[in-house]
Amino acid sequence: MKQQSIAIDMDNVLADVEGHAIAWYKKEYGVSYSKEQLNGQPEGSGFENQEAFWRYVHSPGFFRTVPVMDGALDVLQKLNTIFDIYVVSAAMEFPQSLEEKYEWLDEHCPFITWKQRIFCGDKSVIHTDYMLDDHTKNLDHHQGTSLLFTACHNTLIKHHKRLNNWKEVGVYFNI
């Protein structure tokens, strides 16, 4: 019998892009933000200099140095023993990120093989039993169970099952 499958997004799900952008902004401008201050705002728009976020995500080295989300690796390793796991990233939006994301996965998730990595442009081509993502544009067209991972930009969204952190992901999947 085939195992069930889960597509898991990288940015703001496995990798803390928001926290990383906040750190880069503080380093560049000396201004501190909390994630709570950015809640409910489109990506990058919560910063005084709204252009900064987009400059960061197009900067070499940004995606390679993003920290791992708290609790992600432990839960991901357990899920990987029970489900067919695919790490899926719409990396084509940021072409310079392709190699950086691959290297990031090698460093932080060596148990996720090259066969489990999908870098694409449009996630509507992904047909898994579950999809865990922070963007509704990816979840709205998913044919399986869609799970919204909380990020600052999606805190006002109500039309998907929400998982706030990796502890909740573990509880949801009974691991």
Residues serving a catalytic function are: 9, 11
- What is the Cα 133 distance to its own chain's centre? 6
Question: In Å, what is the CA distance from 18 to each residue of 5, 79, 100, 142?
Answer: 27, 24, 17, 24
If you write DSSP's letter for every residue of 8-74 in order, what string do you get?
EETBTTTB-HHHHHHHHHHHHH-----HHHHTTS-TTTTSSSTHHHHHHHTSTTTGGGPPBPTTHHH
From CA 44, how far away is CA 49, in angstroms rounded? Answer: 9
Amino acid at 79: L
* Residue 20 contacts residue 65 (beta carbons within 8 Å): yes
Amino acid at 172: Y
